[in-house]
Structure 1
């Protein structure tokens, strides 16, 4: 419990980043309702993207004989709160069974053989749970500028994780790594669409002299969309060479990092002025 408390505090203080045992890992905080107590309980859990805004978590409990308490809580009450370091949202949990569970667990093992080691330690079938958001809100930020930086850092973090996962992937491109890349592409598309349709018109209307900067940012969005389209095309090849796909990821990373740096330098002062 002391270990969990330390991880939770560090996670919240550093927008989802932690050191120590979980450094460089995919991590969420989930708050479930106690099956017996009815009280809220928060736990750090590893996760993988599951596509279409869903998230997969696994009740390994380090291979112990019993399911983790949070799993029993979700069985009793599938509604929970999820913190990803940027957003806090309500979600509904679905416990996978049968072939769906087995296929998802295989994906996880492809991504990290440690899951198979946990399963080998116990006679219980390690559960796989899908989380799907049912409500949410804006980023956990005190200002629009801070919110923009939080979202951008989440993309930087995801690219960092994906590149690390490629380094561990070997000669084949696993299903989970494909999903991670596709989820990133979808997230970028949604973020840039939101800026194009809402933030940019608002700023252009309030600060007409800022229009040339907005046009440059729009053009950069088009370029990044082209790169994500090319990455998706590489991922569509079932026999894709990981090195070829990684090269597309690196091209996207280089372009995106320049774009994010420029956008922050230009937009954050204007956003803060617009809201002051």
Structure 2
């Protein structure tokens, strides 16, 4: 007989994969990953949609709340036994080590999560167990990241859309909260952490790998690549201005920096897509 929770998860998983991480319903607009663990008893792979919190350049946090139930979720018991897991973000897939945080480190991480979303505190209040917090630390691998795309051009577009979504989350958060509120500051720090680090890594990868590859095979693109490199530097300076504004968040200053960054980055992404996707996908006009 079908299990309603399993059916619900299967629908979310299918929608997540079909739409590169975008889903509707209760998870719409939220931060969601697909977490594949190895069954503690069976050794079989199990994939579960799980909410997450960006918390550093090399890891994210997942919280085993199970909606405040008295029992740990299955995925948590699995990763305690088998700490190596697979993470799907909708665009990227990577292997990670799951580290269960303990003591003060756990409490501080949980407090950061609650600062962003009071729902975690509500779950803790519903149960006598201490809700575990787990850091998923990406396992470094050689070569480019594993992007869930069918072509290099699609890969570029998907990664760019991640940055567009992150900026949209920042603007949405600014519009939804009262100026100067602590929740606004916490959410903006999380969004900026994700956006700024990801953008830096992407541009560094382009400068060191993709652009030299294209320059070698298509020398006529050198002026385009030089322009894109210069724009990387300009955008990095705008990102730093946003970081500075978020250090002591004044809504007007943050909004100004977000608007400037959005304008410059959208123009950059659009130009790069127009110029590079035909080359990457082997279409010459």
TM-score (normalised: structure 2): 0.90
Q: Would you identify which runs of 4 or more consecutive aligned residues in structure 1 move more than 6 Å?
A: none
Residue 56 of structure 1: SS of its match in structure 2? strand
Separation (CA, whole Å) in 1 of partners of 2:108 and 2:255: 25
TM-score (normalised: structure 1): 0.92
Which residue pairs with 2:174 in the alignment?
A: 166
Aligned residues: 273
Deviation of the 1:157 alpha carbon: 1.6
Separation (CA, whole Å) in 2 of partners of 1:86 and 1:228: 23
Which residue pairs with 2:162 in the alignment?
A: 154
| Larger mean Cα displacement after TM superposition, 100-109 or 160-169 | 160-169
| Contact 1:54 1:131 (8 Å CA) reproduced | yes
Out of 213, 224, 238, the residue aligned to residue 227 of structure 1 is 238
Separation (CA, whole Å) in 1 of partners of 2:283 and 2:270: 20
For structure 1, list consecutive stretches of 5 or more residues without a partner in the other structure: none
Separation (CA, whole Å) in 1 of partners of 2:99 and 2:175: 31
Out of 129, 138, 143, the residue aligned to residue 124 of structure 1 is 129
| Contact 1:16 1:85 (8 Å CA) reproduced | yes
Call closer, same or farther: CA 1:270–1:10 in 2, change over 3 Å.
same
Call closer, same or farther: CA 1:168–1:122 in 2, change over 3 Å.
farther
Which residue pairs with 1:269 in the alignment?
A: 278
Deviation of the 1:163 alpha carbon: 2.7
Trace 1:213-252 onto structure 2 (pairs within 5 A): 213-237=224-248, 240-252=249-261
Deviation of the 1:82 alpha carbon: 0.5
Separation (CA, whole Å) in 2 of partners of 1:100 and 1:162: 27
Separation (CA, whole Å) in 1 of partners of 2:251 and 2:222: 40
| Larger mean Cα displacement after TM superposition, 265-274 or 59-68 | 265-274
Call closer, same or farther: CA 1:169–1:57 in 2, change over 3 Å.
farther
Trace 1:1-276 onto structure 2 (pairs within 5 A): 1-136=6-141, 137-170=145-178, 171-172=181-182, 173-175=184-186, 177-237=188-248, 240-273=249-282
